[in-house]
Structure 1
Amino acid sequence: MGKDVPDFEYTPQNVAHLHAVVAASKARTRASEIVSADYHRKASEYRSETARIREILESVGLSTESLSQSAVSSAQVLASVANLLNIRDTEMSSFMVAMGDLMLRKTDAEEKRSAVQKDSKILLENTRKAISKLASLKKVLADVENENCTCEEEMEHWKTKLAMMDSKEQEYLQKLSQYQMQLNHVGYTPDINHGMLTKLAEHKKDLERKTKPILETLRSYQDLPPDKTLAALAIEDKKRQYAAAEKYLEEVLHSALTTTE
């Protein structure tokens, strides 16, 4: 059973499309006819040329029937080589030109092959380096994973320490609050700092240095009786003791001088 033909609508667009298809088909047919006629003409020329060459060969005694099997084989090889080299005749110059072109293509192919081999060596070396780096990266990754396990253990250890430090912090904050209350209770103010205490200590030392002679003088007067008369008598007694001591000292010195003479 054939395929169902869809309904055709006679519209300007469809008619124009079909006309374009028909025109293209006619053009391709015409081109094919021209190519076919050219092939027929060339075939006729080749047959005529073949007949002419056959007559020439037969006239000189080189017909196919008169040639040996080896000569026929050589001719066939020569024709095959000519076809392979894409030359139109069997002249020596044509063979030389074709061989020269073949050598140039061979040289170009060898240069390309050498370049490809060089690139292959470079690529192989880069591949080896990449494999070596990959192995190094795998080793580094393994080390990192091992260190990660160790770090996790250390993190757990530090978490425990941090919890303990938080507890200590709360304890220290509580003690700090207690000390602050004690300082407030004794009247401590922020003005009382280390510098101020140092100045007060220096001032105290200066006062002690200034009052020391006064205290010593005061202590000497503490031995005197509180009564004025008794004090006068005590002073006179001290004067007599001083005079006696001075006289005794003079006698000792005089005696020492006399003994020396």
Structure 2
Amino acid sequence: MSDLISAASDPAVPTESKSGGGFDTARVAQVKACLASQFDAAGKDVPEFEYTPRSIAHLHALATSSQAKTHAATIVSADLRQKAAEYRSQAVRIKEILENVGLAQESLSPGAIGSAQVLANVSNLLNVRDTEMSRDDGGVCSFLVAMGDISLRKTGVEEKRDKVRKESEVLLDYTRKALARLTYLKKTLQKLDDEVATCEAQMLHWKTNLAIMVSKERQYIQQHSNYKGLLNRVGYTPDISHGVLTEMSEHRKELEKKTKPILDTLRSYQDLPPDKALAALAIEDKRRQYAAAEKYLEEVLHSALTTTE
């Protein structure tokens, strides 16, 4: 009955028969049988109502949908019953195996029972649903695969966390540098604000000096013009320049250096007598003076040695 009600609320259910009107005896019989079975299952009588082509078509569609869903539910329930039976038989077999190897639940310690419960919870958490153990230990492999998947996910999360942490450290470093830069700029701005008055006074002083320098410039330009006119009047030419005068002075000094030895030689010649005989006498006189000086020196040395002894 619930299937009929749910199907009645489905907008996809058609409300007209394919014939577009009129009664179909087979369809009416099918609808009556379906209604009787549903109301009998609920323990109620079928209510009286008028059978019209529209109601017959609608009820037939509901009945068809209900039968299809009932058939699907029957298949699913049968499959679930079969799986439940397999699970029960598997549980009995595993229980027998555990009892044979001395691992029955009654003989296990509380710690072992707790570990088994933790393992079962982990298996449920990992969504491991192996109903039997294959030759290649498929159940264990499934558990290990699930554990490996969790480990990979954990590794991925840790890598992402490390990446985010590194990015956070970089951003924090940038933020610290930005704050330090901001502090430095604020100090610089404050320093510039403090120096505004001094700079304004200095600029005013420079402005005053600039006016004086402009006046001096005009004065110097006028003096230069006057001196230029004076040089033109006295016949100054570009050939007579400071560079030319300097070169001439250097050339004069070089000539003086070259002529000085000659002049010294000539002056020594001027001290000699003009006659050759007189010159020979003068030379002989100089020799006698030299000999007398040597003799006097020897006497002085001899007397000095005698006094010392």
TM range, smaller chain:
0.3 to 0.5
TM-score, normalization: structure 1? 0.43
Higher helix share: 1
Q: Which has the higher contact order (CA 8 A, sep 6+)?
A: 2
